[in-house]
């Protein structure tokens, strides 16, 4: 009898807990939700966070307020969310580097990207465009990835490429170098825009540029050799992927996505995932998001698998190239 009573008490407790969690989800949110962004206002992560936040606020009836805590490649904001109460009122909007790269590059990181967060979904994915300057005499005849590789092999260790510093664009070029068996000199700039200026000024020969390169390509100021994603970029349909250019499996993109603290109740996570996906696919929002990349949403499970795969691949690139945080 005592065992039966204890069992019934446990069952009653579990039912009460489930009902309480369900009730929490039904009235969620009951106050404003904070979206932490680890980068300055106006950047890609901030723009995406504000577009999605506005849509969430309109749909769920409470403001989703963006708070910018810029610094340390997004680590300040990420640590804040990792340590926040898992009650559904603190969200992280971040880029791929914050999740897949920081743990490999920085020794003083104070959060675990895969253990401290519950992934919701990506919202946009932006492939990089491998470009050269057609007005530079050294790259005037470089019209393909094969041409670039041949030029690098003809002058090992003598050709320079630019990037905005340690990040996805830097590692994309290192991965290509490793796959092609070439050695290039890395010239880090203070941000992607500065690297773009560098190639236009003929200071470097090649850059994996973000989508800001597309207008320059169409204007003839830069020549696109390939895109870094697994599929071609709709804005440059005639430009092959790096994989198509001879390096199967090459797939690196800059993405922006959303996370919650790990222990956030499942019903709240389900609500947020559903509403973020709906917001991203809303025609008006999708048009605005198009300036930051291709709208791309994932299930939480697929998002987690993507993070694990990219983290492993980038760690291997960092180790092989002996890259240190700058």
Using alpha carbons, select from 131, 194, 139 the residue that is nearest to residue 167: 194
Bridge pairing between strands 33-37 and 90-95 = parallel
Distance CA 309, CA 182 (A): 25
Using alpha carbons, select from 49, 81, 111 the residue that is nearest to residue 256: 49
What stretches in the chain show pLDDT beneath 70?
A: 1-26, 326
* Element spanning 54, H or E: helix 44-60
Cβ-proximal residues to 6 (8 Å cutoff; 6+ apart), any chain: none
Q: What is the pLDDT of residue 11?
A: 55
Which letter, b or e, does each residue of 11-29 get, where b requires 16 or more Cβ atoms within 10 Å of its Cβ? eeeeeeeeeeeeeebeebb
Q: What is the pLDDT of residue 6?
A: 55
Q: What is the pLDDT of residue 312?
A: 93
Q: What is the pLDDT of residue 307?
A: 95
15: its two tokens? 């039912």
Q: What are phi and psi of 280, to 5 degrees?
A: -65, -30
Coil vs helix vs strand at 257: strand
Strand partners, 259: 92, 119
Surface-to-core class of residue 62, CB atoms within 10 Å of its CB (0-12 exposed, 13-18 middle, 19+ buried): middle
Q: How far is CA 95 from the centre of its chain?
A: 4
Distance CA 214, CA 195 (A): 15
43: its two tokens? 């950047």
Distance CA 96, CA 73 (A): 10
Query: Residue 277's CB: how many other CB atoms inside 10 A?
Result: 17
Distances (CA, A) of 233 to 38, 125, 267: 27, 11, 36
Strand residues in the chain grouped as ranges (E) = 33-37, 64-68, 90-95, 117-127, 129-132, 160-163, 185-188, 206-209, 223-227, 253-261, 294-295
Q: Are the beta carbons of 113 and 310 closer than 8 angstroms?
A: no
Using alpha carbons, select from 176, 152, 21 the residue that is nearest to residue 88: 21
pLDDT in tens, 110-167: 999 999 999 999 999 989 999 999 999 999 999 999 999 999 999 998 999 999 887 8
**The residue count for the chain:** 326
């Amino acid at each position: 009898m005592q065992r039966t009573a204890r069992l019934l008490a446990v069952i009653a407790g579990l039912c009460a807990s489930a009902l309480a969690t369900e009730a929490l989800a039904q009235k969620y949110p009951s106050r404003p939700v904070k979206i932490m962004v680890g980068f300055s206002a106006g950047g890609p992560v901030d723009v995406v966070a504000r577009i999605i936040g506005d849509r969430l606020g309109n749909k769920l009836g409470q403001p989703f307020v963006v708070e910018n805590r810029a610094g340390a490649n997004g680590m300040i904001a990420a640590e804040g969310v990792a340590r926040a109460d898992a009650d559904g009122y603190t969200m992280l909007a971040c880029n791929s580097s914050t999740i897949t790269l920081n743990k490999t590059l920085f020794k003083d990181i104070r959060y675990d990207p895969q253990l401290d967060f519950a992934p919701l979904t990506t919202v946009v994915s932006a492939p990089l465009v491998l470009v050269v300057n057609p007005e530079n005499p050294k790259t005037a005849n470089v019209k393909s990835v094969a041409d670039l590789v041949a030029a690098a092999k003809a002058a090992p260790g003598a050709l320079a490429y630019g990037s905005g510093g340690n990040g996805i664009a830097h590692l994309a070029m290192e991965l290509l170098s490793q796959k092609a068996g070439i050695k290039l000199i890395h010239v880090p700039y203070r941000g992607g825009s500065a690297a773009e200026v560098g190639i236009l000024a003929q200071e470097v020969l090649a850059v994996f540029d973000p989508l800001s390169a597309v207008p320059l390509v169409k204007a003839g100021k830069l020549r696109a050799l390939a895109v870094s994603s697994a599929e071609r970029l709709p804005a440059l349909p005639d430009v092959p992927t790096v994989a198509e250019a001879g390096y199967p499996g090459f797939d690196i993109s800059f993405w922006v996505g959303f996370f919650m603290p790990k222990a956030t109740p499942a019903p709240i996570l389900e609500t947020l995932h559903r509403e973020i996906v709906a917001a991203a696919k809303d025609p008006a929002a999708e048009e605005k998001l198009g300036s930051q990349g291709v709208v791309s949403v994932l299930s939480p499970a697929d998002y987690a698998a993507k993070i694990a795969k990219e983290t492993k691949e980038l760690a291997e690139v960092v180790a092989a190239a002996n890259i240190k945080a700058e």
